[in-house]
Amino acid sequence: MGNAEQCDAWAAADAYELYMGRWSRRLAVAFIERLSAAADLAWVDVGCGTGALSAAILDLSNPASLLAIDPSVAFVEHARTVIHDRRASFAVGAAHGLPAGDGTIDVVASSLAYNFFPDRSSALTEFLRVLKPGGLFAFTVWDYPTGGPAFIDAFWQAAAALDPEAAALDEAVRFQFCSEPSLVEELAGAGLAGVRVEALAIPTSFSDFDDLWVPFTLGAGPAPGYVAGLDPGRVDALRQRLSSDIAERGGVASLRATAWMGRGVRAR
């Protein structure tokens, strides 16, 4: 595990909900509405976190079954606690080892998690194993390279202005492959057919600067994981720098987050 991955803190479920869950739930709804899948399918939600995408699948897609899986014990426990649905089951585990038989799944879905898989190639091989012929892999990732989630982009730019070591942790640097051509190439290269990648955007408006800032101090996610390692003086300097940078971007009410939604099918 490199330095960057050490900041990827996926343990505090309530903190995650405040930092990202409130936006990932919104993105999940847009994702599932755009996907417009048929009813009565067998789904897996890989990297389910606290359950944002699973909830959208259950609410909007009328699945026959849904397996929600994530390596974070605390996140899976949170998802299990908030989702009460007889079609849903939950497991602790990673993308490269799904507890599903060969050719048994109609849709492998994943939201905002694909870029965190340490070995995406093994994950795609695993998805092709569990998918039925004609089955679908569909996912979202933030469009990090162009500053997709503006509040996160502003955070890393402020952090790098104060700490040269933060530049390598910037998600726009770590996840440069989150662009349309790279994602298409990656999925097609893994053997998926009919690959399409399209843009999806949601508003992320905060009530005031603290509504944006406080979740960065709660320790869940890459940027909060970075803040957790700073001493109080550096945290305060970062807060001030980010506050002035956000004001220059037009303030907390005007921020947006853009994502890529990708899909490809297992050829028959």
Ligand X SMILES: C[S@@+](CC[C@H](N)C(=O)[O-])C[C@H]1O[C@@H](n2cnc3c(N)ncnc32)[C@H](O)[C@@H]1O
Q: Establish if 261 lies at the interface with ligand X (CB under 6 A).
A: no
DSSP 234: H
In the structure encoding, which two tokens stand for residue 196, read together?
């399409």
Asked whether the CA dihedral 96, 27, 171, 266 is positive or negative, the reply is: positive
Q: Quick one: which of 13, 58, 98, 111 contacts ligand X (CB under 6 A)?
A: 111
DSSP 229: T
How many H-runs (helices) and E-runs (strands) does the chain carry? 12, 7
Q: Give the DSSP H or E segment for 196.
A: strand 193-203
Q: Quick one: which of 7, 35, 44, 52 contacts ligand X (CB under 6 A)?
A: 52
Q: Which residues make Cβ contacts (< 8 Å) with residue 201, sequence separation at least 6?
A: 256, 257, 258, 259
Contact 68, 51 (CB under 8 A): yes
In the complex with ligand X, the residue whose CB is nearer, 16 or 206, is: 16
Residues 9-48 that bind ligand X (CB under 6 A): 10, 20-21, 24, 28, 46-48
Q: Quick one: which of 18, 29, 71, 87 contacts ligand X (CB under 6 A)?
A: 71
Smallest distance, ligand X to C-beta of residue 28, A? 6
d(CA 161, CA 165) in angstroms, rounded, equals: 10
Q: Which stretch binds ligand X (CB under 6 A): 116-124, 128-136, 197-205, 259-267?
A: 116-124
Q: Establish if 151 lies at the interface with ligand X (CB under 6 A).
A: no
- Provide Rg for the chain, Cα atoms: 18
In the complex with ligand X, the residue whose CB is nearer, 88 or 95, is: 95
In the complex with ligand X, the residue whose CB is nearer, 70 or 106, is: 70
Q: Which residue is nearest to ligand X (CB)?
A: 49
In the structure encoding, which two tokens stand for residue 107, read together?
């849709």
Query: Residue for token digits 């001493």?
Result: 231
Q: Give the DSSP H or E segment for 187.
A: helix 180-189
d(CA 196, CA 260) in angstroms, rounded, equals: 10
Q: Which residues pair with 66 in a beta bridge?
A: 43, 88
In the complex with ligand X, the residue whose CB is nearer, 116 or 206, is: 116
In the complex with ligand X, the residue whose CB is nearer, 26 or 249, is: 26
Residues 79-108 that bind ligand X (CB under 6 A): 94-95
Q: Which residues make Cβ contacts (< 8 Å) with residue 214, sequence separation at least 6?
A: 18
Q: Establish if 204 lies at the interface with ligand X (CB under 6 A).
A: no
Q: Which stretch binds ligand X (CB under 6 A): 66-74, 172-180, 204-212, 246-254?
A: 66-74
In the complex with ligand X, the residue whose CB is nearer, 3 or 240, is: 3
Q: Establish if 75 lies at the interface with ligand X (CB under 6 A).
A: yes
Q: Establish if 72 lies at the interface with ligand X (CB under 6 A).
A: yes
In the complex with ligand X, the residue whose CB is nearer, 94 or 214, is: 94
The residues that touch ligand X, with contacts defined as CB under 6 A, are 10, 20-21, 24, 28, 46-49, 52-53, 70-72, 75, 94-95, 111-113, 116-118
